[in-house]
Amino acid sequence: MSSIARQNGKANHSDQQLDADLPIPLYHQAYTVMRSWIASGDFVRGDQFPTETALCEKLGVSRITIKRALSELAAEGLIARHRGRGTIVKAQKLRGIMRADFGEMMKNLHDVENTTDIELLSEAEAVPPLEVADDLDLEPGVAALQILRRRLMDGEPYVYSVSYIPTNVAARFPAKGAEQTSLLQLLTNAGYPPFEAYQRMNAASAEESVAKSLGLEPGQPVLKAVRVFKTAELLPVQHTTMYFRPDRYEYTLVLPASEAND
């Protein structure tokens, strides 16, 4: 059944006005309502999600509130926001996911930058995997700048990363700039400051190239994080997959009491 048909049936929700008097922030109320639409199957993988304007009218809140709520959904991997194509439902089913906001992620990145040293392993154009191309809004087979780096803590390997930057964005980078500073700083200097991001984290087994870079044996466990950064105009500008040594990395989330369920 198409999303239009569903919206004419069970998904044709009456306007759900949110309550500003509740202690729960409006953006989180909007996020919860929209998440329930996906959880109930009103919107499924591949469906076009309502526009920001339509959501503002339906939920009775500002565009800023809707933008933040959509960013929460994107951070969970439930939707993909594409410039010029709107918002597409990405999830096939919902899973319990711990969330950290953009500010918390940026703090974590700055902490890493301030306590580690960069080692640039390679920097060259390469065709990204299909799932990376999709996250960057690139057509299959289109090359991007691939940056392979390793960060060292006290001289020991700490994290190995594989980053892809669209070539039109990377064209504004200085030669070997990734050897000197963070990609986020390079993006900002190039005129593409990241505005929002989403991150997926899970345990993985180290492939040979990852194991070699981290001083591990192939197959040993690593913590894998995928991060996608976008500008305020929803232009994807960076896709990075990071592999952390679990014995040298700990990721801590600060959760409000309302979300820290037993």
**What is the domain extent for residue 168?**
102-244
- In a domain, residue 220? The reply is yes
Same domain, 195 and 117: yes
Kindly state the DSSP code that residue 6 receives in the 8-state scheme.
Answer: H
pLDDT in tens, 193-236: 988 777 788 889 999 999 999 999 999 999 998 989 988 887 88
Residue ranges of the alpha helices (H) in 60-166?
Answer: 63-75, 102-115, 130-135
Grade residue 137 by pLDDT with cuts at 50, 70 and 90.
confident
Can you tell me which residue has the tokens 């070699």?
212
Mean pLDDT of the chain: 82
Same domain, 153 and 178: yes
- Give the model's pLDDT for residue 202: 83
The answer, yes or no, to whether residue 117 has pLDDT greater than 90, is no
The total number of residues shown for the chain amounts to 262
Higher pLDDT, 88 or 105: 88
Same domain, 225 and 132: yes
Give the span between the Cα atoms of 122 and 104, in whole angstroms: 29
Same domain, 112 and 235: yes
Please state the three-class secondary structure of 152-175 as a single string.
EECCEEEEEEEEEEEHHHHCCCCC
* Angle subtended at Cα 232 by Cα 52 and Cα 18, rounded to the nearest 5 degrees: 35
Same domain, 45 and 171: no
Same domain, 127 and 207: yes
- In a domain, residue 259? The reply is no
- Give the model's pLDDT for residue 102: 53
- Give the model's pLDDT for residue 173: 94
The answer, yes or no, to whether residue 48 has pLDDT greater than 70, is yes
Number of domains the chain contains: 2
Stretch (H or E) spanning 149: strand 144-153
pTM: 0.66
Q: CATH code at 137? A: 3.40.1410.10
